[in-house]
Structure 1
Amino acid sequence: MVDFARLSALRDTVAIVGVGETDYPQDYGRARRGERCQDAYGYAAAAFRRALADSGLERRDIDGLVAGPALAGERLGEVLGMDVRWADQADAVQAVLKAAMAIHSGVAECVALVYGNDQRTGGTAYGGPNAMGGERHLAYTYYAPWGLTSQGALYALLANRYLAVTGLSERELGGVAVAQRAFARLNPNAVMRRPLDIDEYLNGRYICEPLRLFDYCLVNDGGVALIVTTAERARRMDRPAVLLSGIGRSDHNREATSLRPRLEYFYRPAQRQAADQVYAMAGMGPSEMDVLQIYDSFSIHVPLALEGFGFCADGAVGKLLSSGDLGPGGPLPVNTSGGHLSGSYMQGWGHQVECVRQLRAEAAGRQVPGARNAQYISDVAGKVTSLIYRRAGT
């Protein structure tokens, strides 16, 4: 059982005080032209330098480090010139959680979360017989005998059942890609900024039916970094801070390798449990979220999260997707940087940066007016996690 008293003790005790990203469209262009690009550590170092400068801190102030999954933690510390007293390795959302717990427990005071990936120039395979991670038995490698050797195949299977059960149409699903492209056009650091309307979406070729080209995430190089410290230290700094106010987590692993949680439940029980946790801890609910970031390696993640976390009633997501409400100027802005579909595929790390920029009112042309609360949701492989961020002082 979740101990809400102990969990709530973490509320607003840590703050993100610095963020940094690399230049995604420029690096994407270089990669497509076959020009020399940085490796994963080079991208990570560039993002770290920018995050450190953004925070106003010195390198010597950092006493903790969490490395993204494409990096070796020891090597990353060497590249960044740091000898920290506490270090770990995690994906985007777990990196935030681990940093928060390390700071709250007192083993570190100021933690850098650093990610870098040269997945495009490095030729990372996310499907086929040489799929990345096959040696560690990633979920989608279990299904090779049935031809399901990529995440796209698994999510297409999920999407087919979801559309059949709920009545969601392909046109309505296309509203996800269209809305996120509209945000990407307002983001100078987004990879895909050409206009996209629903007709072009529907004319896009199927990659794995019913998922079309525009339902798939990008594959691009880049780096992301965040600097996390105590709320007390953040208050002493001459920078706007963003507090971590809510945490929700629920794993849905029963019969996961037979796809049952995806195909029968659409992760709904785990989503509801994670939603109960994150909203109770933060003391707010879906109606109070000004900005929503959803992990979107495929567009189908978005309707699952919207229904699962109570942003609309079950069965009403199609109308929401096609209404324009998720795009610029809408009442529920989702993936305001362009997300993974049009902005940059940094495996959830960029979503954290976008939450911070929106809450610090630093998102320029895509800025959501008066944004005070932002939520992040991911439901990767049955591990549903959500974070709620709040602008300090509100």
Structure 2
Amino acid sequence: MPDLERLSAVAGTVAVVGVGETDYGADHARSRRGEPIGDGYAHAATALRRALADCGLTKDDVDGLVCGPTLASERLGEVLGIDTRWADQADAVQAVVKATAAIHAGLAETVALVYGTDQRAAGVAYGGEGAAGGERHLSYTYFSPWGLTSQGALYALLANRYLAETGMTERELGGVAVAQRAFARLHPHAVMRAPLTIEDHLAQPYICEPLRRTDYCLINDGGVALVLTTAERARRLDRPFVLVRGIGRSDHNRDATSLRPRLEEFYRPAQRAAAEQVYAMAGLGPQDVDVLQIYDSFSVHVPLALEGFGFCGDGEAGKLISSGDLGPGGRLPVNTAGGHLSGSYMQGWGHQAEVVRQLRAEAGDRQVPGARIGQYVSDVAGKVTSIVYEGVAR
């Protein structure tokens, strides 16, 4: 069981001091024209250069590195010119968890978290015979004999059951895509900035019923980097920074490859266990969250997280979404850079950069006024993780 006393000792001791991203929209347009824009390592290098400039540090200050799949830490270290004492590989949210643990334990003082991908330019497939991850036996590839070779098909099953169980309508679910597009229109580097109404959304044909095109994430290239260090060093930099206040995780693997956790329980047991841990460590609750980022490879992730983490009751997410409260000017802004559906698909990495920008009041036209507490929620394949961040003004 998690030791909340020991976890509480970590709260507020590690800070995010720098963030950097590539120019998603411009790169996407260049890629569509067939122009070369570099590989994943090139995007990662651009993002880190910008993150270091953001916090006033240099690569010589970095003594830890966490790289995001599918990059190799050894090669990435060579490309970046960083010779670290400690390195690892992890997805977006686990990268923050691992770096926080390493800094608190004294394994490193300043850790760069770096991700880059050329998934669109390289033609990465997320379905079909050559589905990415099939060689690692990801859960959705077990169902290829029945034609379920894509994650979209599995999330369509989940969405159908969720709608049937809760009474949520397709119009309400479509409100997720509409709200996130509204934020993307305020983000100069978002990929999708054209207007999107609920009528536009519902007029689209199904890709896999009940999911339409704008229920699906984008596939684009880019890079994201964050720089984490001790809270003490962050204060010496004399710039705005963001503290890691809470971490929660709970896996839901029992019968995971049979789909039961997502089809019957919507990951709620794991979400509630992770919520209990993250809020206890942070000394906060969902009512304290000013801005929320939710991993959204498909729109249905959003209502599941809203209910699982206590932002509304079971079966009430549809009403919350249709109220308009998740979009610009709403009381619970979600995925304020446009999320994976309209902003950029960086496998959750962009969500971390966005929550930092919001808590430093640097998000421009999409800024949530007075944002001080931000939360990220991820429930990929039953591995539920959440981080609570707190902004610190300088």
TM-score by length of structure 2 reads 0.99
Alignment-mate amino acid for residue 271 of structure 1: Q
Structure 2 equivalent of residue 169 of structure 1: 169
Secondary structure of 1:9 counterpart: helix
Structure 2 equivalent of residue 328 of structure 1: 328
- Could you say what the CA RMSD is over the residues aligned between the two structures, in angstroms? 0.8
Structure 2 equivalent of residue 72 of structure 1: 72
Q: Check if 1:103 corresponds to 2:103.
A: yes
Q: Check if 1:14 corresponds to 2:14.
A: yes
Secondary structure of 2:6 counterpart: helix
Structure 1 equivalent of residue 309 of structure 2: 309
Alignment-mate amino acid for residue 160 of structure 2: N
Q: Distance in 1 between matches of 2:266 and 2:135?
A: 27
How many residue pairs end up in the alignment? 394
Q: Distance in 2 between matches of 1:133 and 1:26?
A: 28
Structure 2 equivalent of residue 133 of structure 1: 133
Structure 2 equivalent of residue 57 of structure 1: 57
Q: Distance in 2 between matches of 1:147 and 1:141?
A: 10
Structure 1 equivalent of residue 144 of structure 2: 144
Q: Distance in 1 between matches of 2:135 and 2:191?
A: 31
Alignment-mate amino acid for residue 349 of structure 1: W
Structure 2 equivalent of residue 26 of structure 1: 26
Residue 58 of structure 1: how far off its partner (Å): 1.4
Alignment-mate amino acid for residue 316 of structure 1: E
Deviations 1:76-107 (A, max 9, x none): 00000111110000000000000000000001
Q: Distance in 1 between matches of 2:289 and 2:172?
A: 23
Alignment-mate amino acid for residue 11 of structure 1: A
Q: Distance in 2 between matches of 1:125 and 1:175?
A: 27
Q: Distance in 2 between matches of 1:37 and 1:391?
A: 34
Structure 2 equivalent of residue 337 of structure 1: 337
Residue 393 of structure 1: how far off its partner (Å): 5.6
Structure 1 equivalent of residue 3 of structure 2: 3
> Percent of pairs identical after alignment?
75
Structure 2 equivalent of residue 378 of structure 1: 378
Structure 2 equivalent of residue 209 of structure 1: 209
Matches within 5 A, 1:175-190: 175-190=175-190
Structure 1 equivalent of residue 194 of structure 2: 194
Alignment-mate amino acid for residue 328 of structure 1: P
8 Å contact 2:360–2:393 — kept in the other structure? no
Q: Distance in 2 between matches of 1:168 and 1:184?
A: 25
Q: Check if 1:392 corresponds to 2:374.
A: no
Q: Distance in 1 between matches of 2:125 and 2:316?
A: 36
Deviations 1:194-233 (A, max 9, x none): 0000000000111100000010000000000000000010
Alignment-mate amino acid for residue 272 of structure 1: R
8 Å contact 2:360–2:392 — kept in the other structure? no
Change (3 A) 1:393 1:47: closer
Q: Distance in 2 between matches of 1:70 and 1:196?
A: 32
Structure 2 equivalent of residue 349 of structure 1: 349
Alignment-mate amino acid for residue 159 of structure 1: A
Q: Distance in 2 between matches of 1:349 and 1:241?
A: 18
8 Å contact 2:249–2:383 — kept in the other structure? yes
Residue 8 of structure 1: how far off its partner (Å): 1.1
Residue 392 of structure 1: how far off its partner (Å): 2.1
Structure 2 equivalent of residue 218 of structure 1: 218
Where do 5+ consecutive residues of structure 2 fail to align? none
Alignment-mate amino acid for residue 29 of structure 1: A
Matches within 5 A, 1:33-52: 33-52=33-52
Q: Distance in 2 between matches of 1:93 and 1:76?
A: 19
Alignment-mate amino acid for residue 28 of structure 2: Y
Q: Distance in 1 between matches of 2:143 and 2:259?
A: 10
Residue 37 of structure 1: how far off its partner (Å): 1.7
8 Å contact 2:246–2:281 — kept in the other structure? yes
Stretches of 4+ aligned residues off by more than 3 angstroms: none
Matches within 5 A, 1:352-371: 352-371=352-371
- Higher mean alpha-carbon deviation, 297-306 vs 131-140, is at 131-140
- Higher mean alpha-carbon deviation, 153-162 vs 309-318, is at 309-318
Q: Distance in 2 between matches of 1:123 and 1:324?
A: 36
Q: Distance in 1 between matches of 2:286 and 2:59?
A: 38
TM-score by length of structure 1 reads 0.99
Residue 238 of structure 1: how far off its partner (Å): 2.1
Q: Distance in 2 between matches of 1:232 and 1:54?
A: 18
